[in-house]
Amino acid sequence: MKRLHGVTLAALAALALAEPALAQPTRKPAPAAGAVVAAKPAKAPGAPKEEAGPVIAYAGATVHVGDGQVIQDATVVIAGGKIQQIGKGLAAPGGATLLPAKGMVITPGLVDALTSLGLIEVVLESSTHSDEQRATSDSIHAGFRAADAYNPASVLLAVARSEGLTSAGVMPNGGLISEQSAWADLDGATAEDALAAAPLALHVHLDGDAPGEGAGHGTAFLKVREAFDDARVFQKSRAAWERNQTRRFAPSRLDLEALASALDEKLPVVFHVDRAADILATLRLAKELKLRPIIAGGAEAWKVAATLAAAKVPVMVFPLQQPSSFDAIGAREDNAAILDKAGVAVGISSGETHNARKLRQVAGNAVRSGLPYEAALAAITRVPAEALGMGARYGTLAAGKTANLVVWSGDPLELSTQVLDVVIRGHRVPLKSRQSALLEKYRRLPR
């Protein structure tokens, strides 16, 4: 991959001098006089709380917008938690904090759509897991909401932030139909502050090893079809159901309500599926049930790339996925490249929680395997945002969008590149984490 060099000492010093402000727990006052502030748009349901933020201007950077466009010597102006202006050679508004960024690279904040950040703290300690519905033998958990269990104080959030993640799809686990995920910005004192959309999507695991099933792929499809069919009948005859005048439904009331929210393409449904035959069956099922599908994993999606492109169904891939099961026996590292060439909207996920910080490394490996560079950047910014219905506010750098961005010392897909600054909803956030604190503590050991 092409690398960007020449970060000036003056630019690094400018960011370093501004570092004390990062540790301040209080928000700065409203934009200063003379700042460029756009009119407030109508607040969308589930949108972040409006707040007066600082006026910041990064000047002289190479900006990757996220849609393939690259702007040299660009200025990015942020105010009120949103991007106000972006363009080449713009003058910073009066009263703005000017941060020279010549030689640096700015991208949209990275997005990993398939994590359990904020729901799991220690993998091997069950008491720190809030990622699944327990004490039930039922495999339909559609009513389970990630938003109810999200912990904004998780130490994993700062670790992910320090590597450029600003947003994540927070996804519970367990069950055939496992949960309603949420979109979290990785900052905020409370869940209400952090969550920008809840529910975000419904998640379905269509494979023979779905928890509570074990009876093969056909049984999994049967149960999913039955659950959504029950939800449609429930939706049309709710009053009769309340009077106990309908047939018995397989899912519970809250599960039925959650399933109904995804009917008629109202809420995305993420189908976790790998085998090519099952991907095609998923597309047929989604069409039959009038769902808005997203394929997650898709180890063999390359085999049916043309069909996915024609159906305009996005695919969230794990570029380093190996043929570790019979479902994924056709996995290959150029999966993303083949899908992109066929015209499929390709997103990339780390598929992890503790290692969500490795998202850019995973995207870099997709480039190594043939995915065009700008497509890889879009796969960890714009594509997941658009696929999940968040594209109006996230995923690219444009006036009026939520100001989530990252300032890099060079090529963000190179491991040697450093994260210099992270902005979430218009506020520069600290790059310190538990790991960096441990590094400082043990940097010099007594002899």
190 with 251, same domain: the answer is yes
88 with 213, same domain: the answer is no
DSSP string, 303-315: GGHHHHHHHT--E
**Whether the Cβ atoms of residue 340 and residue 371 lie closer than 8 Å to each other:** yes
Looking at residue 362, what DSSP letter applies?
Answer: H
Q: Is residue 400 part of a domain?
A: no
Residue among 339, 387, 383 at smallest CA distance from 359: 383
Distances (CA, A) of 297 to 213, 288, 311: 20, 22, 17
> In sequence order, what are the residues at sequence separation of 6 or more whose Cβ sits closer than 8 angstroms to the Cβ of residue 404?
108, 109, 166, 167, 185, 394, 423, 424, 425
The pLDDT of residue 328:
93
189 with 237, same domain: the answer is yes
**Whether the Cβ atoms of residue 406 and residue 424 lie closer than 8 Å to each other:** no
Distance from C-alpha of 343 to C-alpha of 339, rounded to nearest angstrom:
7
Q: Is residue 237 part of a domain?
A: yes
Q: Is residue 287 part of a domain?
A: yes
> In sequence order, what are the residues at sequence separation of 6 or more whose Cβ sits closer than 8 angstroms to the Cβ of residue 402?
48, 81, 82, 83, 185, 196, 393, 394, 425, 426
272 with 319, same domain: the answer is yes
Query: Tell me, what CATH number does 248's domain have?
Result: 3.20.20.140
**Domain range for 129:** 110-394
217 with 190, same domain: the answer is yes
What total of structural domains would you count in the chain?
2
Q: Is residue 349 part of a domain?
A: yes
292 with 434, same domain: the answer is no
427 with 278, same domain: the answer is no
Query: Tell me, what CATH number does 36's domain have?
Result: 2.30.40.10
Phi, psi of 180 (to 5 degrees): -110, 120
170 with 88, same domain: the answer is no
Any idea how long the chain is?
A: 447
96 with 237, same domain: the answer is no
290 with 186, same domain: the answer is yes
Number of other residues whose CB lies within 10 A of the CB of residue 317: 28
Distances (CA, A) of 256 to 119, 224, 291: 24, 12, 15
Q: Report helix, strand or coil for 181.
A: coil
Q: Is residue 305 part of a domain?
A: yes
153 with 299, same domain: the answer is yes
Pick out the chain residues at pLDDT < 70: 1-52, 124, 129-137, 207-215
Query: Whole-prediction pTM value?
Result: 0.85
Distance from C-alpha of 205 to C-alpha of 174, rounded to nearest angstrom:
9
**Whether the Cβ atoms of residue 347 and residue 113 lie closer than 8 Å to each other:** yes
Q: Is residue 333 part of a domain?
A: yes
Q: Is residue 402 part of a domain?
A: no
Q: Is residue 446 part of a domain?
A: no
190 with 271, same domain: the answer is yes
DSSP element (H, E) containing 288: helix 276-289
